Amino acid sequence: MTEQFPVLKNDLFLRACNGEDVERVPVWIMRQAGRYLPEFKSVRADSDFFKVCQTPELACTVTIQPILRFPLDAAIIFSDILVIPQAMGLEVQMIPGKGPHFPDPIKTIDDLKRVQFPISVQEKLGYVFDAITLTRHKLEGKVPLIGFTGAPWTLFTYCIEGGGGTDLKESKLWLLQHPQESHKFLQKLTDVAVDYLCGQIKAGAQAAQVFDSWSGELSPQMFDEFCLPYLIQISRRVKEVYPNVPLICFPKGSNFALKKLAEQSSYNVLGVDWTISPEAAREMVGLKVTLQGNLDPITLYAGKDIIHKQVETMIKGFGTKRYIANLGHGMQPQMTPEMAEYFVSSVHQISEDLIKH
Ligand code: CP3
């Protein structure tokens, strides 16, 4: 039986994904749920990070926290990209102040035997699907709900490095020295990501984003071999099942790839970071896809006048058509809710003025 969800009242984000007209630019913020919100910290005070992910009521509560505070145009389900390696049998801990940690990462080809595949995403990640269904109800149609997955290469780096914040030496050596084994592992991660996104959409996600947070560490040639084919594959396979659900790809740092992604993949939206100008990004993709981004997150520490000016320059650069405003990466724990709110309302005010005049 398909669920009956509350009627959507704000479809600006979905319209922008699909290239339809908007009366103002929609905005959401990567990592909009998180430790910069006192109400998030208070939930986390009683529960381990992955317990929040695994308990639908808690995941739903923290997903909705930023929606209650700010006039955002989309919610993103609270979870983590690393639930996929966990579901494939690898242990992942979240260490306060340090980030994700794999006590027993994949070091040798023999270690790949510890990776469970194929898996039933329903059995292993059903808690995310439950959180999505619950959140769709609790959002009461205020804004659409975005699901997400980590991209194969980004997940691969965590499984092999055992955490973040490295130069990715071990993962890159895998690509260089064991290309065939690397491709096999990337293909498994791709298959799981496809099932996982389809499960999220079935459960109620109204759009889905693929985070390739570490793609920018690869040379264009390595990107073309180890990222691009899998990113394209994910978009095509999910679209075969759900042709009308907007898909977003955020290949952080790989702005050189925008043209190929726009031409060869089935993503409706491409995310960009701040290392490319809005004009250059638009020039690469034209109006074929929607662009999302790209304010340097550090701007949120610079004060209101500066945020306002930077947002104005950004929106004028991208244009108000086929554009979703966001930061070029996530919110940081030291940022203030006040500045997040100011960013969101600046986007609304400036874009509304631009569209009217
Ligand atoms: O609001 C949202 O955007 C949804 C929630 C979300 C989280 N992680 C919650 C989280 C999303 C979309 C992610 C994705 C994610 N997780 C990515 C891709 C996006 C990006 O930032 O590049 C990556 C690389 C991860 C892996 C990960 N999880 C890292 C590197 C860290 C530590 C960094 C940090 O901020 O501490 C996490 C932990 C994490 N994921 C937190 C949150 C709110 C903070 C941990 C905590 O609450 O203790």
**CATH number of the domain within which 49 lies:** 3.20.20.210
Q: What is the pLDDT of residue 9?
A: 98
Point out the ligand 1 atom lying closest to the alpha carbon of residue 29. 3
Q: Is the CB of 81 under 6 A from ligand 1?
A: yes
Q: Which domain holds residue 16?
A: 12-356
Q: Is the CB of 33 under 6 A from ligand 1?
A: yes
For ligand 1, pick from 50, 69, 80, 254 the residue to mutate: most ligand atoms within 8 Å of CB: 80
CA 152/CA 137 separation, integer angstroms: 30
Is residue 197 assigned to a domain?
A: yes
Are the CB atoms for 186 and 247 separated by under 8 Å? Answer: no
Point out the ligand 1 atom lying closest to the alpha carbon of residue 32. 1
DSSP-assigned letter for residue 27: B
**Which pLDDT tens digits describe the chain residue by residue (357 residues)?**
467 999 999 999 999 999 999 999 999 999 999 999 999 999 999 999 999 999 999 999 999 999 999 999 999 999 999 999 999 999 999 999 899 999 999 999 999 999 999 999 999 999 999 999 999 999 999 999 999 999 999 999 999 999 988 899 999 999 999 999 999 999 999 999 999 999 999 999 999 999 999 999 999 999 999 999 999 999 999 999 999 999 999 999 999 999 999 999 999 999 999 999 999 999 999 999 999 999 999 999 999 999 999 999 999 999 999 999 999 999 999 999 999 999 999 999 999 999 998
Q: Is the CB of 65 under 6 A from ligand 1?
A: no
- Number of folded domains that form the chain: 1
Q: Is the CB of 331 under 6 A from ligand 1?
A: no
Is residue 7 assigned to a domain?
A: no
Question: How long, in residues, is the chain?
Answer: 357
Is residue 6 assigned to a domain?
A: no
User: What is the Å distance from ligand 1's center to 271 Cα?
Assistant: 17
The model's pLDDT over 339-348, given as tens digits with 9 standing for 90+, comes to 999 999 999 9
Q: What is the pLDDT of residue 196?
A: 99
Is residue 3 assigned to a domain?
A: no
**ipTM score for this prediction:** 0.92
CA 141/CA 135 separation, integer angstroms: 10
Q: Is the CB of 76 under 6 A from ligand 1?
A: yes
Contacts of 188 (CB under 8 A, 6+ apart): 88, 115, 117
According to DSSP, the β-strands at 93-95 and 99-101 are antiparallel
Q: What is the pLDDT of residue 330?
A: 98
CA 52/CA 12 separation, integer angstroms: 29
The model's pLDDT over 60-84, given as tens digits with 9 standing for 90+, comes to 999 999 999 999 999 999 999 999 9
Mean pLDDT over the full length of the chain: 97
User: What is the Å distance from ligand 1's center to 331 Cα?
Assistant: 10
CA 243/CA 246 separation, integer angstroms: 8
DSSP per-residue letters across 119-188: --HHHHHHHHHHHHHHHHHHTTTSS-EEEEEE-HHHHHHHHHHSBSSS--HHHHHHHHH-HHHHHHHHHH
The catalytic site residues sit at: 31, 35, 44, 80, 158
Question: Taking the mean position of all CA atoms in its chain, how far away is CA 189?
Answer: 16
Q: What is the pLDDT of residue 164?
A: 87
User: What is the Å distance from ligand 1's center to 31 Cα?
Assistant: 7
- DSSP 3-state assignment of 209? strand
Q: Is the CB of 211 under 6 A from ligand 1?
A: yes
Neighbours of 325 (CB within 10 A): 29
Q: Is the CB of 202 under 6 A from ligand 1?
A: no
The model's pLDDT over 285-326, given as tens digits with 9 standing for 90+, comes to 999 999 999 999 999 999 999 999 999 999 999 999 999 999
Q: Which residues pair with 94 in a beta bridge?
A: 100
The model's pLDDT over 191-205, given as tens digits with 9 standing for 90+, comes to 999 999 999 999 999
Nearest protein CA to atom 13 of ligand 1, as residue: 80
According to DSSP, the β-strands at 290-295 and 269-272 are parallel
Is residue 5 assigned to a domain?
A: no
Are the CB atoms for 235 and 272 separated by under 8 Å? Answer: no
Q: What is the pTM of this model?
A: 0.97
Q: What is the pLDDT of residue 2?
A: 63
The model's pLDDT over 28-40, given as tens digits with 9 standing for 90+, comes to 999 999 999 999 9
Tokens of 66: 């930023």
Radius of gyration of the chain (CA): 19
Nearest protein CA to atom 8 of ligand 1, as residue: 80
Q: Is the CB of 32 under 6 A from ligand 1?
A: yes
Nearest protein CA to atom 38 of ligand 1, as residue: 99
User: What is the Å distance from ligand 1's center to 187 Cα?
Assistant: 23
CB burial class (10 A; 0-12, 13-18, 19+) of residue 229?
Answer: middle
